[in-house]
Structure 1
């Protein structure tokens, strides 16, 4: 018995040491993710705690968290078995921000001034439903089968698709939603927000207010070799700076999203591990640095906030769109953009039409070519904050397609050669994207 107890004691000690060293440091991230997710899903899209925990937070370890919603105070608190309390607050116009104990929730704040343009035009240029249109060159049975196959059958939880919309020649030719989701549901795009952030550089470039080929305006880099990094390098994720992006562990990306007060600074202090334009490395820190550079283009914080809406979202009728901010008031351009599936589709159409929206040129045609051109050392898979199929990642889809992509399989896909946009929103990346994309394209005879 004594020998057994001794062995048991040693094993227990090993377990406790493991929990302290390996698990305890993760609790900040677990409760932080959970609080942010619950608050955003509830206050932005009106989802219940039960639905969020069953769907959005049904992630390994994240489901350890206990969450409490305060509707009157508009905040959520989360912890893991009573440990590591985290709080996320909702503010109208700014969305949800994960805060620390030093954050002053009573301080007045500025928020974007929206200009919702309503017209009598049908989708995508207005609020009316489109007229029924039947294209003779579309095999609708094949199209609908490809879309239906993207969704789980009753009782299954494998594909976890929330919505799919197919837009051909500016007409919705297929649209389907999972139970509990509809055309008015606002869905987090995660890293599709990176493509939105890049778009503002295209808009400023058209306005003659920025030159992306010039060195990035970062004071901390001016006395070392990093001063050679251009905005172009940052847009291409090709700065040569160190960064780790793995969401299943404590890393640069997770510490930035769930701990940092000012996310625009996370990449700034990183050293070189490569060379500019010769060391492609995917980095959410880089995109948030770009958000910080955008902020520097304006004299006031209010101008920065308004620009994200009046130069893009409100111009193209993305009235549901919202990008959330960090504790320092920066838009989290890497990850926290929300919109309905139809509005995500409008973003894709803007690029399909090379920046032209119903006659108004939002950015130059050359910008669409720029973001869809492979950057050096990415093996044809990345451009300017957009992913590409030039390297053949999806073998049965057109090589000229490019797309915004986000965690858990969010996609806005642009097919220039087919006058086509496909949006898929979901809760899992374990999904046959090649099958969906090739199935839809295959249903259209050019």
Structure 2
């Protein structure tokens, strides 16, 4: 493989004058009426924000996940929300579903009601307090692909599982998957194994299928990296260029490179207070993008520098969302439509029909966590990386990109993180080869890519515990069943 190639910039993206003059006052629309000072006020604020994220989950559970099979609000609450303390659902929370306008409203005791609205191909968006609509025009995202039943795997579904590659012990694969699905504490909803380009085994929980789009959480960060890679391949960005963000040019942030952002090493000051207890407050900058109706790009661009770029590795949403801002500016500077760009530039290329990438009320992708894909489409994503960024003879990602994302970030002393992908160099899992790397999302969403064994393993479903011992054992069993 050749070293990673650097391409010249053909354009430096800028916000258009039209966008500047047509966007409403974002700060006024999204900020709480008053800052919470007393403990009682903070508790009320925490309940309000938990109502907001629950409204989002009900909305997307009904109309994003529910596009594959019909679900009721009661089922979504019982399956996706109430069992998990992260979301803070309480029996005295009240909800209302407006089927006609596709709005879900949740009210917590003593707090203002909060709503989320389903926007079609942009999924569901938490609305600012008291608002009933978003501040952008949602668009339909065409899938420029024929019916999957008419195309061969991996562009379609024909021949996805047959014939099996030579040397596969199908009984041992089946036994490994049966064992994995029997671990009820993991709540696995999809488990798919692809070896040498073919699916050699898959299992789904009742009600979940190969086509069901599931919330993938921070696996979306790896999609962000991939969209950056596509723009590098087109010659519109360079990995080592200074981040083309105009808001950063008059202070220390002007030294941040795209490489630093990809490696979670920007050095930005961006608090992450976690997702438990009374942490859902405006001070929780990292998590706030999931429970408040923010303009997420404005939010992250306010983060000041804390340490020099490249000197500290910290897992913070500031970095992938800053990359998201760069993606939007770059795409729109080329006269392309931002909201359809991921499907056109990436998903159509690899036969992925299920993706729904959700936005904030201003139409910015919250691709640090609000993304829905089916398990088989995550397999396709993994295969793109397994094939060094080449898909059916077309180079989609720059030569050497897969090596870059799978190499530990220099600032990461634990050697666990690469370029918006996690890595196993430490290793984190002793039954998994050290060349493995993967997108990972909250509550156990994982697409494991193992180049030395030509293997992709996708695991989805909301696990409340540590998923890695489970993955270590599951993949260890699978590895024994293949050459």
Q: TM-score, normalised by structure 2?
A: 0.84
- Answer with 319-328 or 18-27: which moved more: 18-27
Q: 1:442 to 1:84 in 2, by over 3 A?
A: farther
Q: 1:217 to 1:381 in 2, by over 3 A?
A: same
Q: 1:170 to 1:438 in 2, by over 3 A?
A: same
Give the aligned partner of residue 268 of structure 1.
301
Superposition deviation, residue 62 in structure 1: 2.5
Establish whether residue 425 from structure 1 lines up as the match of residue 453 from structure 2: no
Establish whether residue 353 from structure 1 lines up as the match of residue 380 from structure 2: no
Give the aligned partner of residue 206 of structure 1.
233
Q: Which among 365, 385, 390 is matched to residue 425 of structure 2? A: 390
Give the aligned partner of residue 28 of structure 2.
none
What are the Cα deviations for residues 342-377 of structure 1, in whole angstroms up to 9, with x where unaligned?
111111111111111112211123111111111012
Superposition deviation, residue 192 in structure 1: 0.2
Tell me which stretches of 4 or more aligned residues in structure 1 moved more than 6 Å: none
- d(CA) in 2 for partners of 1:392, 1:334: 25
Give the aligned partner of residue 81 of structure 1.
109
Superposition deviation, residue 337 in structure 1: 1.2
Give the aligned partner of residue 259 of structure 1.
292
Contact 1:28 1:86 in 2 (8 A): yes
Superposition deviation, residue 191 in structure 1: 0.2
Aligned residues between the structures: 426
Give the aligned partner of residue 180 of structure 2.
150
Establish whether residue 287 from structure 1 lines up as the match of residue 297 from structure 2: no
Give the aligned partner of residue 50 of structure 1.
74
Give the aligned partner of residue 62 of structure 1.
88
Q: Please give the secondary structure, in 1, of the residue aligned with 2:431.
A: coil
Q: Which has the larger radius of gyration?
A: 1
Contact 1:193 1:334 in 2 (8 A): yes
Contact 1:94 1:325 in 2 (8 A): yes
Q: Which among 137, 145, 168 is matched to residue 195 of structure 2? A: 168
Superposition deviation, residue 274 in structure 1: 2.1
**Structure 2 unmatched runs, 5+:** 1-36
Contact 1:322 1:338 in 2 (8 A): yes
- d(CA) in 1 for partners of 2:107, 2:77: 14
Q: Which among 465, 469, 472 is matched to residue 434 of structure 1? A: 472
The structure with higher relative contact order (CA 8 Å, sep 6+) is 2
- d(CA) in 1 for partners of 2:275, 2:142: 33
Superposition deviation, residue 302 in structure 1: 5.8
Contact 2:153 2:159 in 1 (8 A): yes
- d(CA) in 2 for partners of 1:18, 1:55: 34
- d(CA) in 1 for partners of 2:161, 2:474: 26
Q: Please give the secondary structure, in 2, of the residue aligned with 1:105.
A: coil
Q: Please give the secondary structure, in 1, of the residue aligned with 2:180.
A: coil
- Answer with 295-304 or 417-426: which moved more: 295-304
- d(CA) in 2 for partners of 1:29, 1:264: 19
Superposition deviation, residue 103 in structure 1: 4.5
Superposition deviation, residue 163 in structure 1: 0.7
Q: TM-score, normalised by structure 1?
A: 0.90
Contact 1:165 1:172 in 2 (8 A): yes
Q: 1:423 to 1:285 in 2, by over 3 A?
A: same
Superposition deviation, residue 243 in structure 1: 2.2
Contact 2:120 2:140 in 1 (8 A): no
- d(CA) in 1 for partners of 2:166, 2:431: 23
Superposition deviation, residue 291 in structure 1: 0.8
Contact 1:352 1:416 in 2 (8 A): yes
- d(CA) in 2 for partners of 1:77, 1:300: 38
Give the aligned partner of residue 138 of structure 1.
168
What are the Cα deviations for residues 140-192 of structure 1, in whole angstroms up to 9, with x where unaligned?
33322221222246xxx511111100001111101000112111211010000
Superposition deviation, residue 411 in structure 1: 0.3
- d(CA) in 1 for partners of 2:269, 2:342: 28
Superposition deviation, residue 125 in structure 1: 2.1
Superposition deviation, residue 67 in structure 1: 2.4
Give the aligned partner of residue 359 of structure 2.
325
**Structure 1 unmatched runs, 5+:** 1-16
Establish whether residue 128 from structure 1 lines up as the match of residue 158 from structure 2: yes
